[in-house]
Amino acid sequence: MSTFDDLIAEASAVPVAGWDFSWFAGRATEQRPSWGYARLLGRQMAGARRAVDLQTGGGEVLAGVESVPPLLVATEGWPPNVAVARRRLAPLGVHVVRAAQDGGLPLRSGCFDLVVSRHPTVVDWSEVARVLVPGGAYLSQQIGPDSVGELRAALGVSVPPRADQRPDRVRDAATAAGLDVVDLRMESLRVEFFDIAAVVVFLRKVVWTVPGFTVDRYRARLAALHRRICAEGVFVAYSRRVLVRAYRR
């Protein structure tokens, strides 16, 4: 059995650019939402002519779309992800644009009939409405409030749940921006970590889970969690996902 130090060293060496989670195979699992975002995305893209994927990450989800609209744009704010997305999406003819997550979109108003986004860190509803044509569609799978809060608790981290991630606040914000929400659902999904390396890679990759995370800062807590996983075989947390489907008025 690998030691704590061995697992920490392994986890610290894993590249974390992009949103490819294949490294976690056999080391962590996450239950998928019942609505099947990839399937919904494919259906929406098949009927679109001009679409944009906001905060595309490394373009992993977008690359799986079978029918690509004549104009397809992707935005991303983290420079390492921009490079990954451009390499991955170039064969599909996707235009990848660097755009800060907390700033305006460098896109023309009323240009797109479809805006999509999977796991955006923030949602600027006014910008979503601005770039959509009247009647244009918005499809998003978002992070729900206090997602994997059990993991933060295990590390002694107290982060107040973001009120803007609650479904009622999502509806209010979308409506205020000029969107009619036609589908809004939230599910709580089981997440399993089978070793401490999986925990560390997850925290390095999904950086908003524990802001400012470093191994050195949380080493004692990680060691305690390592012992717990060794004793129990798994650490369980619960992610929360929110599906949003809306149309611009």
pLDDT at 78 over 90: no
CA distance 130 to 107: 9
Q: Which residue has the higher pLDDT, 79 or 4?
A: 4
Q: In which residue are the tokens 């949380």 written?
A: 218
Q: What is the pLDDT of residue 100?
A: 87
Q: How confident is the model at residue 102 (pLDDT cuts 50, 70, 90)?
A: confident
Q: How confident is the model at residue 1 (pLDDT cuts 50, 70, 90)?
A: confident
Whether 65 contacts 41, CB under 8 Å = yes
Q: What is the pLDDT of residue 159?
A: 87
Token digits of residue 245: 């489907």
Average pLDDT (158-174) is: 95
Q: How confident is the model at residue 174 (pLDDT cuts 50, 70, 90)?
A: very high
What does the pLDDT look like over 217-246, one tens digit per residue?
Answer: 999 999 999 999 999 999 999 999 999 999
Q: Which residue has the higher pLDDT, 102 or 111?
A: 111
Q: CA quadruple 39, 168, 241, 53: dihedral positive or negative?
A: positive
- Closest to 27 (Cα-Cα) out of 154, 196, 152: 196
Whether 243 contacts 35, CB under 8 Å = yes
Q: What are phi and psi of 65, to 5 degrees?
A: -70, 130
Token digits of residue 71: 């104009």
Mean per-residue pLDDT over the chain, rounded: 96
Reported for 68-76, long-range contacts at CB under 8 A and 24+ positions apart, including other chains, are: 68/92, 68/93, 68/94, 69/45, 69/114, 71/95, 72/45, 73/97, 73/107, 73/112, 75/99, 75/105, 75/106, 75/107
Bridge-based pairing state of the strands 28-30 and 112-118: unpaired
Q: What is the pLDDT of residue 214?
A: 98
Q: How deeply is 89 buried, as exposed, middle or buried, from its count of CB atoms within 10 A (0-12, 13-18, 19+)?
A: buried
The DSSP secondary structure of the chain, one letter per residue, reads: ---HHHHHHHHHTS---SS--GGGTTTEEEPPPTT-HHHHHHHHHHT-SEEEESS-TTSTTGGG-SS--SEEEEEE-SHHHHHHHHHHHGGGT-EEEE--TTS--SS-TT-EEEEEEES-S---HHHHHHHEEEEEEEEEEEEPTTTTHHHHHHTT---PPPGGGSHHHHHHHHHHTTEEEEEEEEEEEEEEE-SHHHHHHHHHHSTTSSTT--TTTTHHHHHHHHHHHHHHS-EEEEEEEEEEEEEE-
Q: How confident is the model at residue 150 (pLDDT cuts 50, 70, 90)?
A: very high
Q: What is the pLDDT of residue 18?
A: 83
Q: Which residue has the higher pLDDT, 161 or 155?
A: 155
Q: How far apart are the first and last CA of the chain?
A: 58
Q: What percent of the chain has pLDDT over 70?
A: 100
Average pLDDT (152-177) is: 96
Average pLDDT (113-126) is: 96
Q: How confident is the model at residue 20 (pLDDT cuts 50, 70, 90)?
A: confident
